Amino acid sequence: MNNILKYTNKQLQDLLAENNFKKFNADQIFEWIYLKNELDFQKMTNLSLELRKFLNENFNSQLLEELVCQESNDGTVKFLFKLCDNRSIETVLMPQSYGQSVCVTTQVGCNMGCTFCASGIIKKIRNLDVDEIVAQVYYVNRYLKNKYPNDTTGKNRVSHIVVMGIGEPLDNYENTLNFINILNSPKGFGIGARHITVSTCGLVPKIKAFADLQLQANLAISLHAPNDEIRNQIMPINKAFPLVKLMEAVDYYIAKTNRRITFEYILIDKVNDSVESAHQLAALIKGKNAYVNLIPYNEVHENPFRKSTNIDNFFKALKSKKINCIVRKEFGADIDAACGQLRAIREGILK
Ligand code: SAH
């Protein structure tokens, strides 16, 4: 039985029309699910009894099962969810000054093999289906509604999405796009594309395809190195798509969408954090409509990498070359918030 959260509004319209219902029923169903938080088809009282029966017989509206919910002192909340095949995934809520941001997972495990990342400790087992990605946001939305029942400031709903959890979203391309479509739908979550950020390690053909769609979503590139030598050591994807190809795709994206791109750059002790690396990075991205998010490395005990002690100097060196950059705030340092850490710990892979 298919989960109703899998369908974009258009897909649901087509499906209803094929079964002799009205296309506008899709809007009604979306409103019940996403605006009124009602998942029980029987309670969707403006639908005909016949349609409710059809929904009951053909769909379920199951959410994910919460295994762990860790709240950090800084407000970050990390959820570990169980999927129907007993696999687990994680989702992080990060309260920000501008709204409630949720970091979603797109795959069970990850095949990109970045050596510094805890997610890759578990190889990709499968892609998440659309409903499993949607359900993460749905769940956190409901959590916020319960936590702030009388709120009028917007704290009680998810307003921003970062697709930066476990997995490579562009390696689960169609499902990620349908997820974005459901987020965007005015009858769905109503989250504007500009409030959605997709992060990729650099799958060049998919970056170009994504650019061609001309969505207003933000694209973040996990760059993490200023040259091929360093990038090859820490990100195997660079062997397939070296920097010259990646930068060509970045230029293509900027030209097609007229959007500013974000480069993420984790600062790892003695790997990529020298002033010389900063100068190389500046030369690599000079003149592009882009800015750099410098990220203090979140240590994973099982690997040899350590957090940089040269963050200030790196930042100043980039600034001196007139590169737009910020040092990203760290979240949930007290609750295993590094990518993949919670799940890896639960599955006994990390201490
Ligand atoms: N596969 C996508 C999205 C998932 S990772 C990508 O590579 O962009 C999200 C971001 O967290 C990436 O920039 C990733 O490199 C970074 N990251 C992974 N492990 C980290 C760690 N231990 N500390 C800080 N950032 C980390």
CB atoms < 10 A from the CB of 17, how many?
13
Torsion of CA 70, 72, 77, 79, to 10 degrees: -20
AA identity, residue 214: Q
d(CA 250, CA 16): 40
- State whether 160 and 28 are in the same domain: no
Q: Is 167 annotated as a binding residue?
A: yes
Domain boundary among 29, 60, 91: 60
Please state, rounded to an integer, the average pLDDT across all residues of the chain.
Answer: 93
Q: Is 116 in the pocket of ligand 1 (CB under 6 A)?
A: yes
How do residues 233-278 score in pLDDT, each as one tens digit? 999 999 999 999 999 999 999 999 999 999 999 999 999 999 999 9
The verdict on 83 and 136 lying in the same domain is yes
Q: Return the closest-CA partner of residue 155 out of 164, 163, 145.
A: 145
Please give the C-alpha separations between residue 221 and each of 27, 69, 176, 306, 341, in angstroms, as whole numbers.
Answer: 35, 29, 16, 22, 21
Handedness of CA 298, 299, 304, 306 (dihedral sign): positive
Report yes or no: 2 and 58 within 8 Å, Cβ to Cβ.
yes
Whether residue 201 has its Cβ less than 6 Å from ligand 1: yes
Output 209 or 301, whichever has higher pLDDT.
209
Residues 206 and 101 in one domain: yes
351 within some domain: no
Give the strand pairing for 65-71 and 77-82.
Answer: antiparallel
Decide: 238 in ligand 1 pocket, CB within 6 A.
Answer: no
Domain boundary among 39, 60, 81: 60
Cα–Cα distances in angstroms (integers) from residue 40 to residues 35, 48, 73, in the given order? 14, 14, 35
Q: Which of 166, 171, 264 to mutate to test the pocket of ligand 1 (most atoms within 8 A of CB)?
A: 264
CA distance from start to end of the chain: 38
Q: What is the pLDDT of residues 4-22, one digit of tens each?
A: 999 999 999 999 999 999 9
Claim to verify: residue 46 and residue 195 sit in the same structural domain: no
- Name 165's Cβ contacts closer than 8 Å, sequence gap at least 6: 89, 90, 91, 92, 103, 104, 105, 106, 339
Q: How far apart are CA 301 and CA 292, in angstroms?
A: 26
Which amino acids are annotated catalytic?
90, 339
For residues 183 and 196, membership in a common domain is answered with yes
Closest CA to 100 of 150, 73, 152, 140: 140
| Distance of CA 306 from the midpoint of ligand 1 (Å) | 15
Whether 271 and 333 map to the same domain: the answer is yes
Domain identity same for 71 and 50: no
CATH at 230: 3.20.20.70
Q: Is 127 helix (H, G, I), strand (E, B) or coil?
A: strand
- Is 53 inside a domain boundary? yes
Residue 338 CA, ligand 1 centroid: distance in Å: 8
Structure tokens at 159: 């307003």
Same-domain status, 165 and 276? yes
Residues 106 and 145 in one domain: yes
What are the residues facing 93 on neighbouring strands?
77, 102
Residue 52's domain is classified under what CATH number? 1.10.150.530
Residues 55-102 pLDDT 10s: 999 999 999 999 999 998 888 999 999 999 999 999 999 999 999 999
Distance CA 331, CA 308 (A): 17
Residues 34, 70 share a domain: no
- The rounded Å distance from CA 38 to ligand 1 centre is 34
Whether residues 341 and 251 fall in one domain: yes
Q: Is any ligand 1 atom within 6 A of the Cβ of residue 295?
A: yes
Say if 74 falls within a structural domain.
yes
Ligand 1 site, residue 221, Cβ cutoff 6 A: no
Euclidean distance between CA atoms 16 and 44, whole angstroms:
16
Predicted TM-score (pTM) of the model is 0.95
For residue 202, how far is its CA from the centre of ligand 1 (angstroms)? 12
Domain boundary among 60, 79, 99: 60
222 annotated ligand binder: yes
Q: How many domains does the chain have?
A: 2
pLDDT, one tens digit per residue, over 149-199 is 999 999 999 999 999 999 999 999 999 999 999 999 988 889 999 999 999
Nearest CA to ligand 1 atom 7: 201
- Shared-domain flag, residues 280 and 311: yes
Domain range spanning residue 48? 2-60
